[in-house]
Amino acid sequence: MDSVALDELRRAKDVLEEPSLAIRIADRVGMPIEVLLRRLPASARDAIAASTRKALDASLDVALRTIDASSAVGPADWLHRGAVIASGAMGGALGIPGLVLELPFSLTMMLRSIADHARAQGEDLSLVATRLECLAVFAYGTRSTADDAADSAYFATRAALARAVSTAAEYAAERGLAEAVGEKSAPAIAQLVARIAQRLGVAVTDKAAAQLVPIAGAAGGAAINALFLNHYQETARAHFTVRRLERAFGVEAVRKAWERA
């Protein structure tokens, strides 16, 4: 790998191995995430979990049916950011009910932004597996208590998701996109969405806890949603950069360079 590729890999590793969303949110509201989470009622956590799964189902529809595979000049981050910030303002003003309403819209806009970054890194969005890989980005950039500290959290998460993405893509190819979208309870689809929801739910819960802080309100909700979107845009850029480098230099060479970085 040349020096340019190594610099790209180092920047990607900084993003993917050091998730910063919780830290950024804590800085925004002026208190640690742990304190915010203790204020979150159990009923609110249940509502957030249900809303996250519903939002991912909506994003799955988008991934399989409407992501544009045509070429584009580059990621339209400003357009997606404006839409997500506006929805965050609504969520911040209305609390948990607002979050439940705005989350499906926000994730859909974020998924389109993720797809833009995938396309910019040379991914073929006409492939179902690539579209599902865009959806899987929501599982990256958030640490889980199940992560093995002895291994790269990023590569461990990729390994855990790879089979689920492959199986879901095969199922969609066999049944057709319309039928696959209509059968979200099918094991091949449900397992992938459940794996993503488990990790995304951590980030959504952090976001919701911050938006319930009285001083946050509509303006705070917009700012927190901007952090939320920026986090996954950076994660998408880093993830698809790694995949591009793997195509160019080989998986083994990239993994060795990652370990040395």
The pair of structure tokens assigned to 244 is: 């591009």
Secondary structure class of 261 (helix, strand, coil): coil
pLDDT, tens only, 119-175: 999 999 999 999 999 999 999 877 654 554 445 689 988 998 999 999 999 998 888
Q: What is the pTM of this model?
A: 0.84
Q: Contacts by 23-31 with C-beta closer than 8 Å and gap 24+?
A: 24/227, 24/231, 25/206, 25/207, 25/210, 25/224, 25/227, 26/210, 28/210, 28/220, 28/223, 28/224, 28/227, 29/210, 29/213, 29/215, 29/216, 29/220, 29/224, 31/213
Taking CA atoms, 215 is separated from 25, 92, 180, 209, in Å, by: 13, 10, 43, 12
Please, what is the average pLDDT of the chain? 81
76 pLDDT band, cuts 50/70/90, is low
Structure tokens given for 106: 């926000």
Report pLDDT digits (tens) over 220-234. 667 777 888 888 889
Span 170-199, pLDDT tens digits: 998 888 877 777 777 889 999 999 999 988
Instruction: Kindly report the number of other CB atoms within 10 A of residue 195's CB atom.
Output: 18
Give the pair of three-digit tokens for residue 193: 């969405």
> Are the CB atoms for 203 and 210 separated by under 8 Å?
no
| Assigned token pair, 231 | 């986090």
Span 3-8, mean pLDDT? 96
Give 39's DSSP letter.
T
Q: Where are the domains of the chain?
A: 3-260
- pLDDT-derived band at 254, boundaries 50, 70, 90: very high
